[in-house]
Chains A and B, each alone.
Chain A
Amino acid sequence: RKEVEQDPGPFNVPEGATVAFNCTYSNSASQSFFWYRQDCRKEPKLLMSVYSSGNEDGRFTAQLNRASQYISLLIRDSKLSDSATYLCVVTPYTGGFKTIFGAGTRLFVKA
């Protein structure tokens, strides 16, 4: 079993749609959780951190469920510019040097 698993997609949605991505992780001792965005073959960029209480940043909402060991990302009112690959990221130890990246979920937003 992979340490971090994501549905690879692709998700094809129309503009304005709401789309949700899920991610599961295997190490219950994981400390920190993030969602990154990666545009075609460019460097991954931090989208948002994920907290147990849930957090929101504009159209984006992230949730963490430690008991079930999954993380979610909800995108509301999708824009064309949201088309990208979304990476689920987990740091299993106290220290970022062992960060584990999911393979990513591809999103296409269509006009």
Chain B
Amino acid sequence: NAGVTQTPKFQVLKTGQSMTLQCAQDMNHEYMSWYRQDPGMGLRLIHYSVGAGITDQGEVPNGYNVSRSTTEDFPLRLLSAAPSQTSVYFCASTTGNQPQHFGDGTRLSIL
């Protein structure tokens, strides 16, 4: 089982560039979320989705956009990258009250 797949695994951007982090899951989970984790800190929720066509903001949404056109995919877009967005990004999915399943993460550096 693939579970939750994130691409790319590593990325270096220049300030002001835009890019999309991809996330796909093959478990037919209705809930998908994006988190960022900075060194020595816990996970912070960026955006989440409760189903295709429905998204909402989490704790730290500024500078990021999401969309959910299918159950499987939940891409995260950085509109204009800033050094403060250097972080590790995790995508997760779940259903009901079940625990979240995480992808391997995308390590993003912005110069």
Contact = CB atoms under 8 A, between A and B. Distances in A.
A78 B97 CA distance: 30
B111 interface: no
Contacts of B101: 46
B98 A103 contact: no
Q: How large is the interface on A (under 10, 10 to 19, 20 to 34, 35 or more residues)?
A: 20 to 34
Interface residue SS majority, chain B: strand
Nearest to B41: A103
Q: Which of B88, B99, B101 has the most CB of A within 10 A?
A: B99
B103 A43 contact: yes
B27 to A, nearest CB: 12
Contact of A96 (B43, B97, B103): B97
A49 B99 CA distance: 8
Contacts of A36: 99
Given A31-B97, A42-B105, A95 B31 contact: yes
Given A44-B43, A87-B42, A96 B100 contact: yes
B99 A97 contact: no
A101 B43 contact: yes
Given A46-B101, A97-B49, 16 more contacts: A36-B99, A41-B88, A41-B105, A43-B103, A43-B104, A44-B43, A44-B90, A49-B99, A89-B99, A96-B96, A96-B100, A97-B33, A97-B48, A99-B94, A101-B43, A102-B42
